[in-house]
Structure 1
């Protein structure tokens, strides 16, 4: 059985799209007769502290669903202090560098990017060993950091990041891009590089949760995920207008905006917004069975970014209210997945919500069934992976 290694900054039991995406890839490779191993940090995301089962450990090797997971030391932090965050990234980068340098690694290695520094360390070390490096690019850094205001154009950090970006694109054997925009951007830096589209599709065979539409309840819109700067959920809650409408907004998640979000909801009970905190995935899906529409927001349009929630919720049968712009907006519209409001335009968002309030629960139930069946054809992970194998990507 041929071996393949995946290097990622996130992996379950960590929550979120990044961890789920890498787990799905690992499991699909396993189903296709690969002996799969994963190297990642000791689990700490999103709170920036080690999970209880990993405290006091320097490294650990586990078997999860027949995937060998090697977790290396990290100094975890999600602090706003720049020095602490850089130190956290450097700590795992150092662990990873020595692991790749001195440990035997398979001939084929998938490297997740971003984080940019980790992918640079991985590509640099693996290129010395003449490995087949499959670079899996899910977001464009430093471009996304510029758009989010995290770094300034032509600053020292920007110039260093651009160098790292050019290096990994040019040194990788081939590149998987999560969007057409990512592939187009990579081609501006490495024009001859073989690039392949690899969407963040969920495993549809495991997705069905038997949605129920309660006729006598208000329409329940939900957001489930990270409460961070990029999502802009706190600002959205301040701007959204549900008063007088038979609609509720329910929020599930954790992150930097959690406390101010809770305070705002507590002080504005007439907003029809409810906060439920972070839920374990199976419990979350069980609770969402009676919900109606998934909200997918971004604070600003991020070139190359296509939130995986679009595909995940489609596979579950949820219509989507998309508020993020870019390629994601095109996907929602082209596949009739729900409603779109221009990113940052809260007036347009509130207008779409008014239109949603006029839809009957019976119409929503029909829409859910149609979306579930269509998603099985459009967002099929097995077909996508099979096509990549035919192209000798793996």
Structure 2
């Protein structure tokens, strides 16, 4: 059996797209005959505190679903204080670096990036140990940080992160990119580097898409489910929405830095057609979403290289997508007829599109759901993608 290690900053029982994505990769490798181990921090995301069962522990080794998990110490924090966030990142990076230098490791290792500092630490240690490094790039940093306005271009921090970015690309034996833009960016720096497209396809499909909604008199129900952070911009979005007199509701599920702002705003304004539900377990969330109609996928600004995994996750559940993020994700929605595309940051156009959706009627949306589900099942297939990668000696 072939051994392979995955290094990631997130892994279940932590919630969110990043943890789910790495778990899916681990399980698919296991199903294809690999002996898989994962190194991650002691679970602490998204609240920035250790889960109760992991408190007062320096490291934990456990086996779940045939995956061997090594969880290492971290000083957890989701504080807005940049110093505390840096200390948190450095704490796990230091623990990880020491562990990778002294532990018995398989010959092949997948390193998740971002976060950049963590991937740099892992790549450096693995390069010293002469392991085969497979870099899995989900977002382009520091490019995304510049576009989000959290980093100043040509600052000392920016130049340092550019050095780290180039180092990990150079030392990787080959690279997975979640988008064609990521691969184009890497090839602009290292034209000869072997890069493979690895989309964040889901490993779930439902089989009970119905032709009719149980109560066609209900409003059309949009939902956002995911991280409530700076990149998604949900707080600004709900302030800009004009839902009065529309046959629409918006349901919000998730947690993150903007959670309190969203709750306070909805309470103060007493908005009747926007509902906040908090964070739900993934299976419970999917069950709850069956009563809703359209997935809202926003980004605060166009982020080069980013393709939100929600596009694939929710079309696999049969939901049309209202995409408000620009970039390659916009092309995917348009080319696959997955729903509606609104130019990023154009709230006037967003409200105009919402008005059109409100007038469509539930019968047409139900027909869209069935068609989108069948398309996603055929074209966004994780098993088929994994077979192609294995055939191309990706692992």
Q: Which range, TM-score by smaller chain?
A: over 0.9
Q: Are residues 1:56 and 2:56 paired?
A: yes
Q: Are residues 1:83 and 2:70 paired?
A: no
2:247/2:359 contact within 8 Å kept: no
Instruction: State the 4+ residue runs in structure 1 displaced beyond 4 angstroms.
Output: none
Distance 1:115 1:202 in 2: 22
2:205 is matched with: 207
Distance 1:210 1:263 in 2: 37
1:14/1:44 contact within 8 Å kept: yes
Distance 1:270 1:379 in 2: 37
Q: Are residues 1:155 and 2:155 paired?
A: yes
Give the drift of 1:268: 2.2
Distance 1:95 1:282 in 2: 33
Give the drift of 1:190: 1.3
CA displacement, residues 124-152 of structure 1 (integer Å, 9 cap, x when unaligned): 11112221110000000000011111110
The answer to which of 296-305 and 210-219 deviates more is 210-219
2:295/2:320 contact within 8 Å kept: yes
Superposition RMSD on alpha carbons, in Å?
Answer: 1.0
CA displacement, residues 256-300 of structure 1 (integer Å, 9 cap, x when unaligned): 111111111112234511111111111111111110000000000
Kindly report which structure 2 residues correspond to 1:28-43, keeping only aligned pairs within 5 A, or say none. 28-43=28-43
2:255 is matched with: 254
2:384 is matched with: 383
Distance 2:158 2:311 in 1: 30
Distance 2:305 2:332 in 1: 13
The answer to which of 213-222 and 318-327 deviates more is 213-222
Q: Are residues 1:369 and 2:370 paired?
A: yes
Q: Are residues 1:300 and 2:301 paired?
A: yes
1:174 is matched with: 174
The answer to which of 265-274 and 281-290 deviates more is 265-274
1:43/1:51 contact within 8 Å kept: yes
1:130 is matched with: 130
Distance 2:117 2:235 in 1: 29
Distance 1:261 1:211 in 2: 32
CA displacement, residues 48-67 of structure 1 (integer Å, 9 cap, x when unaligned): 11111111111101111110
Q: Are residues 1:115 and 2:123 paired?
A: no
1:279 is matched with: 280
Question: What runs of 5+ residues in structure 1 fail to find an aligned partner?
Answer: none
1:243/1:270 contact within 8 Å kept: no
Kindly report which structure 2 residues correspond to 1:223-242, keeping only aligned pairs within 5 A, or say none. 223-242=224-243
Distance 1:61 1:225 in 2: 29
Distance 1:273 1:381 in 2: 33
TM-score, length-scaled by structure 1: 0.98
1:134/1:175 contact within 8 Å kept: yes
2:184 is matched with: 184
Kindly report which structure 2 residues correspond to 1:304-319, keeping only aligned pairs within 5 A, or say none. 304-319=305-320
Q: Are residues 1:65 and 2:62 paired?
A: no
Distance 1:34 1:263 in 2: 48
Q: Secondary structure of 2:316's partner?
A: helix
Give the drift of 1:80: 1.1
2:138/2:177 contact within 8 Å kept: yes
Give the drift of 1:211: 5.1
